[in-house]
Amino acid sequence: MLDALPVTHVTGIGQSKAKILQYLGIFTVDQLLHDWPVRYEDWSVQPLGAQEYSSPITVKAVVEGQVAVHWQGQKSQLRVPLRVDQRHLVTGIWFNQPYLKSKLTDGRVVVLHGRYDPKFHTLTVGHTEFSVGKHDNEWVAVYHVAEGLTSLQLSKFIAAALQQFGDQLPERLPRSLMEKYRLVSHRQAVIWMHQPDHAVALHQAHRRLAFEEFLLFQLQLQGYRLERRRVPTGLSRNIPPQAWSRFVAGLPAPLTGAQVKVCNDIAKDLERSEAMYRLLQGDVGSGKTWVALWACYASVAAGYQTVLMAPTEILADQHLREARQLLCPLGVEVAELVGGMGGRQRRQVLEGLANGQIHMLVATHAVLTEDVTFSRLGLVIADEQHRFGVLQRSVLRNKGDRTDVLLMSATPIPRSLSLAIYGDMDMSILDEMPPGRLGMRTVQLPLREEEKAIRAVRRELSRGHQAYVVAPLVEDSETFPDVNSAIQLGERLTQEFAGYQLEVLHGRMSSKSKEGVMRRFVSGQTQVLVSTTVIEVGIHVPDATVMLIYHAERFGLAQLHQLRGRVGRGMAAGLCILLSAAKGEMARARLRTMVDTQDGFVIAERDLSLRGPGEFLGIRQSGLPEFTVGDLTKDLRVMEVARQEAWQLLMNAEFWLMPEYQSLREAVLVGEKRQWPN
């Protein structure tokens, strides 16, 4: 097995090179063969003179004359007269390769890769190919290397490994799948990744390996999904027929069409015998809370308790208020469980949960401790779900028997990424905003016109409204001397907004003082909140009508969209001012996206393509798997196909259990142990 074979078995790799390879994380032949190039260079022979000096070029040349060697201490320089493309006389320069003198004989034809300087007609040669006929690889792989090992050496080692062990590379995909999707073999793909003889080969190799990677991943995800379906996991509740009309009658406004549809999805989930595992995505302000409250009510009406979990106490309080308002009149007993509660109060709540008197609990992480037990927990909802880890969700879920799960997120995620991260869940989207909002406007201003922006904020304040000011840094930093920080802005703007209460909020404050600042803003005691990006996602301050964002160019688009979602949530129109110090047209165009569209999904797609998935998701989504070949921004189609295929396979056990799927099944098991340690 290649994954148990040390690299020293490859011809040419001795102990010292093996050490360097180890440093690069390459211990086995299998790892060596799957060490993908970081990029490719076009080494097809080109005519001289068309390129910039900075970019290397590959030419065919004839040695025309004698080689001159210049020594300077230990260092040497060969200067060789060459004729390139029949027409050009050029001096070839080789540094520190005096032994080439005997090979560069008059009349010899060579292929040279190097940098051409048109001013002096010199070609500084990096790589020399003497067997011209063999120069058929137009694309040359470039590897990540370390001191003591060049990319070219590594590529020779890999070539040797392919020679010796290439035919032992295992094929995980059954023939039928390869034919169905016209995929090359694993072995061929590996060869082409390292030695693509043309662009098409590279594309084929990439497609094959990305598909394999995505398919394995999806087989795992869909495997969990299937498990949840197969085992009698759900509760098949009976929601009383009048529940829906009672719920709707108590709402202060009619539901949007999107809300009705999602409520329906959820009701069906609750009634089904399989456990619900659904993700509800909806832009900030799309009305997820009412949908959540319907789910709670339906579950309670059918005789089960529910928990609505929020990431912070402020958000929990907000949900509690709304839950009491809408559900208490319907006979639902609602309670709250948060960290700061006194012992007696807490005991009371725990008692009510254990004996079933409390129907619905609004809670923070405080609910996760072991002493919290339920009499009949049927549904768990996590708001701003990305703030909770997979483990936390499952702890909560296991407090009940066959509990349903609804996750909610205000972070629009492009479909390609959704499939990757949440491919095992059912998905609902609230793609319609409640009517009656005056909406919001976004404008872009250069930083030097700050005064204009400040005047606009003052105008809102004078109307009795509140304002957010957002800065990219907590305090001034030497690294970014020109960037405004929250602390410094707080001081300066206190003068600008004299007569109003202003407070500063940032991530370095204790969570207790953060809560205090937030509470005073929510209650209207302070009018201006200067902060970093820590402002609560779901927070609802109807009187906050304006947001001023400093250095908008430093934020991701999705992040800006999240931030601005906090204004204009009342009946007054919202205004978001993006102050930017961006110079280039690119940066301005990027921010213009914010001015042009309010659609969170459009913005998310744009952001993803600009920044790539890692940065797009940031640290918030630690669940993102690492793909070595597949690219979530570009291989969306491949991911979709892999997802469908995985589901088909798992649903049709008669195929999936056939011998030709054996090695794929094994690979799934191995991968599971690696990626999902619990």
Q: With CB cut-offs between 5 and 8 Å by kind, which of ligand ADP, Mg ion, none does residue 300 bind?
A: none
- Specify the residue, 352 or 538, whose C-beta has the smaller distance to ligand ADP: 538
Q: Give the number of C-alpha atoms closer than 13 A to the C-alpha of residue 394, restricted to the C-beta side.
A: 4
- The DSSP output letter for 585 is H
CA 514 to chain centre: 28
User: To the nearest whole angstrom, how small is the minimum distance from the Cβ of residue 538 to Mg ion?
Assistant: 3
Residue 256 binds: one of ligand ADP, Mg ion, none (C-beta under 5 to 8 A by kind)? ligand ADP
Please answer whether residues 280 and 381 qualify as being in contact, where contact means their C-beta atoms are separated by less than 8 angstroms.
no
Residue placing its CB nearer to Mg ion in the complex, 154 or 323: 323
| 490 counts as binding Mg ion under rule CB under 5 A | no
Using the minimum distance from each CB to ligand ADP, give the nearer residue, 285 or 490: 285
Q: How far is CA 540 from CA 291, 404, 523, 615, in A?
A: 17, 27, 11, 27
603 phi and psi, to 5 degrees? -65, -40
Interaction mask 114-153, Mg ion, x per CB under 5 A: ----------------------------------------
Range list of β-strands (E), 216-259: none
Could you say which of Mg ion, ligand ADP, none residue 241 binds, taking C-beta under 5 to 8 angstroms by partner kind?
none
- Is 432 or 450 the residue whose CB approaches ligand ADP more closely? 432
CB of 406 to ligand ADP, least distance (A): 13
Q: Looking at beta carbons only, is 436 or 481 nearer to ligand ADP?
A: 436
Per DSSP, the three-state class of 135 is coil
Residue 461 · residue 497 · CB < 8 Å: yes
The residue whose two tokens read 């725990």 is: 350
Q: Which residues pair with 259 in a beta bridge?
A: none
Report in angstroms the alpha-carbon separations of 583 from 447, 468, 557, 609: 11, 25, 17, 21
d(CA 621, CA 608): 14
Report the alpha-carbon distance of residue 137 to residue 151 in Å, rounded: 15
User: Which residue number, 290 or 601, has a Cβ lying nearer to Mg ion?
Assistant: 290
Name the binder of 137 from Mg ion, ligand ADP, none, CB < 5-8 A by kind.
Answer: none
Q: Which is nearer to ligand ADP, 59 or 284 (CB)?
A: 284
Give the β-pairing of 466-470 and 502-505.
unpaired
State the nearest-atom distance from the C-beta of 540 to ligand ADP, in Å: 5
User: Considering beta carbons, is residue 196 or 538 the nearer one to Mg ion?
Assistant: 538
Q: Binds 255, which of ligand ADP, Mg ion, none (CB < 5 to 8 A, cut-off by type)?
A: ligand ADP
Q: Which is nearer to ligand ADP, 411 or 580 (CB)?
A: 411
Interface size with Mg ion, residues (CB under 5 A): 1
Residue whose CB is less far from ligand ADP, 160 or 248: 248
Residue span 494-533 as binding mask against Mg ion, x where in contact by CB under 5 A, dash where not: ----------------------------------------
Beta carbon of residue 284, minimum distance to ligand ADP (angstroms, whole number): 4
Q: How far apart are CA 128 and CA 507, in angstroms?
A: 56
Residues 6+ apart with CB under 8 A from 181: 211, 641
Q: Could you say which of ligand ADP, Mg ion, none residue 434 binds, taking C-beta under 5 to 8 angstroms by partner kind?
A: ligand ADP
Q: How far apart are CB 570 and ligand ADP at their closest, in Å? A: 8
CA distance 128 to 120: 21
279 and 428 Cβ atoms separated by less than 8 Å:
yes
Is-contact 319 362, C-beta < 8 A? yes
Report helix angle 600-617 to 585-596, nearest 10. Answer: 130
Smallest distance, Mg ion to C-beta of residue 384, A = 7
Number of other CB atoms surrounding residue 317 within 10 Å: 18
Strands (DSSP E) found in 452-492 = 466-470
**Which of Mg ion, ligand ADP, none lies near 545, with the C-beta cut-off 5 to 8 A by kind?**
none
CA nearest to 266, candidates 105, 396, 122, 379: 379
User: Smallest gap, in angstroms, from Cβ of residue 264 to ligand ADP?
Assistant: 15
Q: Which residues bind ligand ADP (CB under 6 A)?
A: 253, 255-256, 259, 282, 284-290, 410, 434, 436, 538, 540, 569
Least distance in Å: CB of 17 to ligand ADP? 57
Residue 306, amino acid: T
Closer residue to ligand ADP, CB minimum distance, 319 or 393: 319
Q: Among 234, 287, 538, 613, which residue interacts with Mg ion (rule: CB under 5 A)?
A: 538
Q: Which does 253 bind (CB under 5 to 8 A by kind): Mg ion, ligand ADP, none?
A: ligand ADP
Least distance in angstroms from the C-beta of 292 to ligand ADP: 8
Q: Report residue 582 CA to chain centroid gap.
A: 25
Site of interaction with Mg ion (CB under 5 A): 538
